[in-house]
Structure 1
Amino acid sequence: MTDPVDRIEARIAADGRGTVTVAGRSEELAGWEPEVTKRVIVARLVDLAHERGRPVELALDQEAGGAEVLRVHPSGVVEPLTGAAPPSPAAGPAAPTPARRAPTVQDLLTARPAAPEPPAAQGWRGRVARATGLRLSPGAAEVRHRAAIQQVRRSFSAPRTVVVINPKGGAQKTTATLLLAATFGVHRGGYVLAWDNNETRGTLGWRAGSTSHNRTAVDLLTDLNRFGDTGLQRVGDLDRYVRDQADSQFDVLASDEDAAASSTIDDLAFRRLHATLARFYRVIVVDTGNNMRASNWTAAVDTADQLVIVSTEREDTAASAAWLIDGLREKGHERKVQNAVTVLAAPALNSDPALAKRLHAHFDQLTRSVLHVPYDPALVGGGPIEFGALAPATREAWLQVAASVAQGM
C-alpha cells in the first residue's frame, strides 16, 4: 500500500498564495510571486524526500499556469512527469516570413544566462555543502529568506512612504517603525528614513541609537526654506536634523522632545516636510501618534503608499486596530486597507494560540496579508533598539514583513 505522504497535492492562487496538503493536513503559504511560491513548495518537498529517503510526487495546480506533476528526489532533482502539449499546426497558407530585425547590444545583454543560484548556506544542506563541497540546492526556509531579500531590494518607480498605525498606545508602532526601517536599510543599503510624526512628542528618537545632536522635525520645519529649488540639495545636508543609524543604514527624524515647547506638527507641516524628505529618501517609514483625528495623522494616511497596521496579540490592542480599520473604510480608504499589511506581535513568551488564530482570521479578511512576529526579550526594556541584538527568528520575521510591505508598493 502506498504511503499517503508519497503523493503531495499543492495549489498556487493567482496572487501567489499557496496551499500544500500532506497526508490530509493542509498548510497555507503567504502570497509571494507565484514562481517564488512554487520554489518554496518544491524546496519543502526536497526536505520531505530527504527525510523519507525516497522521491515524492507533487501534483501542482496553478491558477495562473495550469496543472503539472513533478517527481521530487532527495538529491534536489525535480523531474517533470507531465509536460505542455505541442502547439497545434497553423491552419491555412503560411504567412510570409517578416524581415529579420538586426540585433542590438540590448538584445545581447538580455540574452545573458541568469547567474546560477548560490548553493545552500543554511540548515542541514548548508552543513553538508560546507563539509563536502557539494552544491546542494537551498531548502524551503532558505528559499523563502532569499525571496524576501529580493522583494525588499526591488526597484520602485518613485519614493515610497510606509505609514505604521494603531490609535492605541503600546501597540508597538515605534518598534515596528524602527525594525522596518532597519530591515530596509540593511538589505537596500541606505536612503531609508524612520520619521516620528507625532503631533507633539513621540519616543522614536529615544528608541533609536545615540546621536551627536537633539534636533527634530520642528527644527527641520523651521529651516525648510533652506532646501528650496536653489538651496541644499544633498542627503548629507540633512545630517544636522536626522540621526544616523550607521549599523543599520537608515536615518531617524525625531518628533519634538522639548518638554516646555508648545509647537505642534499639523497637516500642512507634514506635507511640506514630506515633499522635501521624499527628494532625499527612497523609503520613508512613518511612525504615527494615537490621535487618528489629528490633522497630521490623516495627512500621513493620505500620503501612504502602504499602510502597516500593527498590534500585539491582545484583545484591547487588536480591538483598537479593528476599530481603526472600520474608521478608515468609512472615510474612503477601503483600497488602502485592502492593500495593508497587518503585523501581530506576540506580547509574551507564552501567548494564547487560540487568540492569535482568531485575530489572524479577522484581519486576514480585511487586509492583504497578516504576519506574526515573535516575542523578543531584547525589545522589552524600552531602551534603544539594537537590530543586531535581536534573535535570528525576530530578524527573519521582520524581513518577511518588509518583503510583504515592498510587494504592496
Structure 2
Amino acid sequence: MGTPPNEVLAFPNIRAIVRDNGTAEVIVAGNSRVVPAGDTVQELRTNALALIVGEAQTLQRPVRVRIEDPDGQGELIVHPDNKIESVSYDPNQSRRRAEAPETTPKTVAPAIIETVPVPATEPVVTPVEPAPVAVAETAATVPAPATPEPQTALVAEEAAPTRRSLKETSFLVSAPVLEPATQGWRGTLTRFGFRMDPSAEELSEREDVRTVSQHWPGPRTIAVVNRKGGANKTPTVVMLSAILARYSGAATVAWDNNESQGTLGWRTEKGAHDRSVLDLIDSSTELLSPSTNAAEIAKFVHHQTSDKFDVLRSDENEEGDHEVTAEEVDIAHQVLTRYYRLVVMDSGNTARAANWRRMIDHTNQLVVPVTAIEDRAEAARLTLQTLESRGGHDAELARNAVVIVSESTDAKRSMSGDALKRAKDEAQRIADGFEPFVRAVVRIPYDPALVNGPIRYEALQPATRRAWLTAAAAVATGF
C-alpha cells in the first residue's frame, strides 16, 4: 500500500507556477528551476509535472506540490511512479461565472484511494415480537386501531393491469455524456488518468464551438459594415469566415463588396489567377447553368489553404472606372449562394451606394466592427441609426446586430502601462454604450497579428482566438 496522502511530507517545499505569458518555474526549497517552454499553458503544466516527478524519483518518495496558474491554485501529491493525486483545487474568483456553479468542491478527496476488503458475515435476523395486548388502564386513552376491511372483494373487483405500449419507452440514453476536462490542471490530471469534470470556462468554450459548428437550412449572408474606414471591417470578415469555415465545415466565401477597390484581397492569400467579382458576373450564365460542375467556381475565387474559406476579390482595375451596381450584386449573390452555404460580405464606406444598399437587402445577420476610437464608434452608431430609420428589414437588422469592439492599436505601440489601461477602459466604455441597442457586443483584445499583412487564424494569440470564437458564436446565434 502506498503512503497515505496525509502522511506525505511537506518537505522540501515545492511550488509549480505557470504564468499566462508563456513562462513557468518549479521552486524546490527556494531554488527556482525553469520549466521547458511550451506552445500552450497546457504544455507548460505537463512540463512542470515532469520536473516534479523527477524530484520525487530523486527522493524515492511522494512529494507535496503547491500549484499556481492563471486558472487557480491547489495542492497535488506526486509519486515517483508518475501517479498524481489531487488534494485540493480552488479556481480564481475572476474566472468563475456567476451563473454557473462550480462543479468541483474546494477540497476534494485524493484521486487514488486504496480500499480494505471487509470480510463477509452472516446477516443477523432480529425476531419481531408480537404486539402486546393493551391493558384496560390504557384502553381509554389510546385510540384502538381501525379494524381492516376484508380485502377479498377489493382484490376481486380490481381491474386487470394494463401493459404500456412499446412506443412509450426507449432504452436509449437521451442525456449527453459530459466529456472530461481537457484544459487547465484538470485537463492535465485527466491525461494522467484521473477523470476531472471541465471548468465553467471550458464548458462555455464548448458551447461556443457547438454553436458555430451547427448547420442551418439554406444559405446565410453576413454583412460587415461601418461607414468609417479603419474600423476593422476586413479583419472581422477574415476572422468570422475562418472560424465558421473551420468549425462548421460549411462552404464559406468572403466577398469584398466595395463599390470600387477594396482591401480584402491584400489581407488574404492570393490564388493562381487574378479574377475578381467582375469576372464572376461576366460568367454568371455559365456558372448558374445546371450542367456546370461545382468545382468551376474555383476559377473565380482565391482559396485560403489554412483557414478553409474562399475569397471573392473586388475589382482591382488600376483605372478604377467601374462601380458595382445593385443588379450586379444580385447576380453575384445568386451565383455564390448556389456554391456556398455561407457568404460573408466586406463593404465600402458609403451607405448610400447602390451596391451597399442591395447588400443589406440580401443580409441575414449584420455585424458592426469598431476600434475603440471615438470617430470609429460614432460612425458605427450612425450606420446603425441609418438602417434603423429606414424601417422594415433594415431596422430589424440593426436591432439584431452584433457589435465587435477591438482595442485600439495606437496605445499598444507605445507599450505604456497608462496607455494600455486607457485603451481597455475606452473599449469597455464604447462596448457599454452599444449594449442597450443591439443583440450582442463582444470585445476583442489587441493582437499584432491583425495589424498588418495577411491574416491567419493560427497566428493569433490564444486569448484573441477565444474572443473571436465568442464573436462568431454570437453571429451564428442569429442564423
Aligning the two structures, in what range does the TM-score lie when normalised by the shorter sequence?
Answer: 0.7 to 0.9
SS state of the match for residue 292, structure 1? coil
Once the two structures are superposed, residues 79-108 of structure 1 have per-residue CA deviations (whole angstroms, 9 ceiling, x without a partner) of xxxxxxxxxxxxxxxxxx99966549xx86
Paired with 2:91 and 2:339, the residues of 1 have a C-alpha distance of 53
- State whether structure 2 residue 387 is matched by structure 1 residue 328: yes
Are 1:143 and 2:203 counterparts? yes
Q: Contact conserved, 2:215 with 2:250, CA < 8 A, in 1?
A: no
State the TM-score, normalized to the length of structure 2. 0.64
The runs of at least 4 aligned residues of structure 1 exceeding 4 Å deviation read 45-49, 58-61, 69-72, 97-102, 112-115
Partner of 1:346: 407
1:390 corresponding residue in structure 2: 460
**8 A contact 2:226–2:349 mirrored in 1:** yes
2 CA distance for matches of 1:198 and 1:399?
26
What is residue 367 of structure 1 aligned with on the other side? 438
Determine if contact 1:76/1:137 at 8 Å carries over to the other structure. no
Of 379, 401, 404, the residue aligned with 2:471 is: 401
Paired residue for 1:267, among 319, 326, 329? 326
Matched, 1:155 2:225: no
Q: Deviations over 1:347-382 (max 9, x none)?
A: 13324333223211221011001000011111222x
Runs of 5+ unmatched residues, structure 2: 1-70, 75-87, 110-160, 413-419
Q: Partners in 1 of 2:396 and 2:451 — Cα distance?
A: 34
Q: Distance in 1 between matches of 2:107 and 2:330?
A: 56
* Structural mapping, 1:3-402, within 5 Å: 50-51=89-90, 73-74=105-106, 103=167, 111-114=172-175, 116-130=177-191, 132-234=192-294, 236-332=295-391, 333-348=394-409, 349=412, 350=420, 351-381=422-452, 383-402=453-472
CA 1:128–1:194: 2 relative to 1, 3 Å: same
Give me the CA root mean square deviation: 3.0
Question: SS state of the match for residue 271, structure 2?
Answer: coil
Cα separation, 2, equivalents of 1:394 and 1:103: 49
Question: How many aligned positions are there?
Answer: 331
Q: Distance between the aligned counterparts of 2:104 and 2:290, measured in 1?
A: 62
Task: Describe the SS at the equivalent of 1:365.
Answer: helix
- 338-347 vs 252-261, which moves further: 252-261
CA–CA distance in 1 between the matches of 2:108 and 2:179? 14
Q: Distance in 1 between matches of 2:339 and 2:98?
A: 48
**CA distance in structure 1 between the aligned counterparts of 2:195 and 2:476, rounded to whole angstroms:** 30
Say which SS state the counterpart of residue 299 (structure 2) adopts: coil
Greater length-normalized contact order (CA 8 Å, ≥ 6 residues apart): 1
How far the C-alpha of 1:228 sits from its partner, in A, is 2.6
Between Structure 1 and Structure 2, whose CA radius of gyration is higher?
2
Matched residue SS, 2:367: strand
Could you say if the C-alpha distance between residues 207 and 219 of structure 1 is closer, same or farther in structure 2, counting changes exceeding 3 Å?
same
Q: TM-score, normalised by structure 1?
A: 0.74
C-alpha deviation, 1:251, in angstroms: 0.5
Distance (whole Å) between structure 2 residues aligned to residue 285 and residue 388 of structure 1: 20
CA contact (8 A) 1:47 1:139 kept: no
Q: Cα deviations across residues 315-355 of structure 1 (Å, max 9, x unaligned)?
A: 01000001111111101122211111000001133243332
Whether the 8 Å contact between 2:405 and 2:443 is mirrored in structure 1 is: yes
Q: Give the letter for the 1:405 counterpart.
A: V
Deviation at 1:116, TM superposition (A): 2.4
Q: Is the 8 A contact 1:196 1:255 kept in 2?
A: yes
Deviation at 1:72, TM superposition (A): 6.1
How many Å separate the matches in 2 of 1:160 and 1:393?
A: 28
- List gaps (5 residues or longer) in structure 1: 1-44, 62-68, 78-96
2:242 and 2:103 map into 1 onto residues whose CA distance is 40
